[in-house]
Structure 1
Amino acid sequence: MCTACCFLNTTERMEQPAPAKPATLSATITDDATERMEKSGIDEASRKDSAAAKETRASTFQDMVTFLKSPTGERFIILEIFILIAMTLLLFLLYQKEMKKRADFQVGLGMIRSIVVGIDSTYKDKDDFQILAVVQNLSEEVRQFAMKNDQLQKEIDIISKNVNDGWVLYATAYYWFSHGPQTWMNSQKACEKEGAKLISLETGVEQQFVVNQVKARRNLFWIGLFKDNQAKWRWLAGVEALVTFWKWGEPNKAAKHNCGALAFNCRGSCWAALNCEQMTQYICKKVPNDAWL
């Protein structure tokens, strides 16, 4: 019975199917094989590309060697050598020129240093930059002096022209003693056309100068003096004439005698009040720019 049981058990074990292998292992093996094949293909392509590149470079080098051995290549080499020599010569000439410039600069700087030190010995131990700074300052001063000189010359030319035209130069201004008569208002307009004004007598010295000129010409001359609505005598600038030099009996009370003039038949005080519409000569005063003063 035991033998039969053992036989039955053995038969059952033989009839049982063998266990199946896992599907994951099979898929992994397949993927590895595929990856190796793909990698093998990539390596093969890389080797082919590398070989092709080497062959191309060899072919290019061979073509270059062939070209250089040809007559055209020889001319090309000669041309390159000529260009190289020319560039070298040009660089050498530029270097020589630059060195000459530096030498000339040093010579010039030495001359400048000698001049500056001659002007002021304290600059003897100064470096080149300080010397150049001094020269720059001196140059600027010279330029300013030149500009002032030009301006002064222009002023002198203007003054000379006015003096030649009959203006009388005195102190820091010049004066025009007219030859023809005008009303007081037209006299002022005539002065303005000349860039001047009817004279305002500001100082006793100027007063005496003008009076002497009037006496020498023996005529009446308008000055920039008028009477305002409040019966106060003022100069054209609007300043009240606080110090006056009226003749005896002046200013008179006659109607419309509201404008001032200088008389010649007088002693020290020569102002007179006249009718503003009266025709008489006039005195213009012009003060030039301060540049020439």
Structure 2
Amino acid sequence: MEQPAPPNPAAQSATITDDATERMKKCGTDGASGKDSEAAKQTRASTFQDMVTFLKSPTGERFIVLEMFILTAMTLLLFLLYQKELKKRADFQVGLEMIRTFVVGIDSTYKDKDDFQILAAAQNLSEEVRHLALKNDQLQKEIDIISKNVDDGWVLFPTAYYWFSHGVQSWMNSQKVCEKEGAKLISIETAAEQHFVVNEVKIRRKLFWIGLFKDNKAKWKWLSGTIPRAHFWKWGEPNKAAKYDCGVLAFNCRGSCWAALNCEQTIQYICKKVPNDAWL
């Protein structure tokens, strides 16, 4: 059986030396930390003392008064803003109640609707009112136009104006006079219009130029270039004599009163216009 080796005196001495060194280092570090902590405490105490000294000085007192004034002013401002916001909300609520009363008065189904639905309904009603106002303005303008034209001697039927002239012109000059009035020599497209114009002509017992002419292909057309959809020629018309290329409305007839006449002859004429310049 082997015997344990005897302890080495040199190794034991080295270990003791190392432990002592570590304890010395640790003590040195702790001492330095303690000194640093003490220095920090002294610095904070000095700073606090300086602050107290400053606040006790005249300058510090003025600083405190200024801070208190700023704080008071900001508090007052916030209070005023809060009161203003409350007033806005109160005014908004009053306005909303008025809108609700108006909307419910028009349509009772909105009685139990929430505020957003009431506002949406009010906006829709506002758009409808604006549209109606625009339509009313347009109608008023048309009424003004009608009144002016009627006062100037134009006859209304049913959506167009007719001018039965007093003076006489050739067919071409008649057209020029009508154009100066924003009109054209009359075109007749329906039996109702034909009946109306014939009655007016019979009252006046004169021949009147209408906007009917014969083109270079011997086809009868209106000034718009369209071929008549209905014909109201007198018996034996249109006259095929030379230069009888323009249409007139006779008075010594029943319903069919169109006739052909020399375009250079001077007779009375009928102008026609509508408010939107859309010629029939």
**Alignment TM class, shorter chain as reference:** 0.7 to 0.9
User: Do the aligned partners of residues 68 and 166 (structure 1) sit closer, same or farther apart at CA in structure 2, a change above 3 Å counting?
Assistant: farther
Three-state SS of the structure 2 residue aligned to 1:257 is coil
Q: Which has the larger radius of gyration?
A: 1
Q: 1:231 — aligned with what?
A: 218
Match for residue 82 of structure 1 among 62, 69, 81: 69
Q: 1:94 — aligned with what?
A: 81
Q: In structure 1, what residue type is equivalent to 2:247? A: G
Deviation at 1:261, TM superposition (A): 1.0
User: Do the aligned partners of residues 219 and 70 (structure 1) sit closer, same or farther apart at CA in structure 2, a change above 3 Å counting?
Assistant: farther
Match for residue 277 of structure 1 among 261, 264, 280: 264
Deviation at 1:167, TM superposition (A): 1.3
Structure 1 position 127 matched with structure 2 position 111 = no
- Range moving further from structure 2, 107-116 or 69-78: 69-78
* 1:8-157 mapped onto 2 (5 Å cutoff): 67-157=54-144
Q: 1:244 — aligned with what?
A: 231
Alpha-carbon distance in structure 2 between the residues aligned to 1:169 and 1:193: 19
Alpha-carbon distance in structure 2 between the residues aligned to 1:244 and 1:108: 65
Amino-acid identity (%): 82
Match for residue 212 of structure 1 among 166, 181, 199: 199
1:155–1:289 CA contact under 8 A, matched in 2 = no
Gaps of 5+ in 1: 1-42
RMSD, aligned CA: 2.9
- What are the superposed Cα offsets for residues 150-186 of structure 1, whole Å, 9 maximum, x if unpaired? 1111122122222222211111111112233222222
Deviation at 1:203, TM superposition (A): 1.3
Alpha-carbon distance in structure 1 between the residues aligned to 2:52 and 2:179: 96
Deviation at 1:74, TM superposition (A): 2.9
User: Do the aligned partners of residues 69 and 186 (structure 1) sit closer, same or farther apart at CA in structure 2, a change above 3 Å counting?
Assistant: farther
Alpha-carbon distance in structure 2 between the residues aligned to 1:67 and 1:182: 110
Tell me the TM-score normalised to structure 2 length.
Answer: 0.75
Deviation at 1:59, TM superposition (A): 7.9
Q: In structure 2, what residue type is equivalent to 1:193? A: K
Q: In structure 1, what residue type is equivalent to 2:94? A: V
Deviation at 1:277, TM superposition (A): 1.9
Alpha-carbon distance in structure 2 between the residues aligned to 1:175 and 1:73: 97
Alpha-carbon distance in structure 1 between the residues aligned to 2:271 and 2:87: 65
Match for residue 208 of structure 2 among 209, 218, 221: 221
- What are the superposed Cα offsets for residues 45-83 of structure 1, whole Å, 9 maximum, x if unpaired? xx8xxx79x96x888777665554443443343233222
Deviation at 1:242, TM superposition (A): 5.1
Alpha-carbon distance in structure 2 between the residues aligned to 1:230 and 1:264: 29
- What are the superposed Cα offsets for residues 7-34 of structure 1, whole Å, 9 maximum, x if unpaired? xxxxxxxxxxxxxxxxxxxxxxxxxxxx
Alpha-carbon distance in structure 2 between the residues aligned to 1:60 and 1:150: 81
Deviation at 1:146, TM superposition (A): 0.9
- What are the superposed Cα offsets for residues 125-147 of structure 1, whole Å, 9 maximum, x if unpaired? 22111111111111111111111
Q: 1:200 — aligned with what?
A: 187
Alpha-carbon distance in structure 2 between the residues aligned to 1:286 and 1:66: 99
Deviation at 1:191, TM superposition (A): 2.2
Alpha-carbon distance in structure 2 between the residues aligned to 1:179 and 1:66: 112
Q: In structure 2, what residue type is equivalent to 1:263? A: A
Three-state SS of the structure 1 residue aligned to 2:81 is helix
Q: 1:263 — aligned with what?
A: 250
1:263–1:270 CA contact under 8 A, matched in 2 = yes
Match for residue 184 of structure 1 among 162, 167, 171: 171
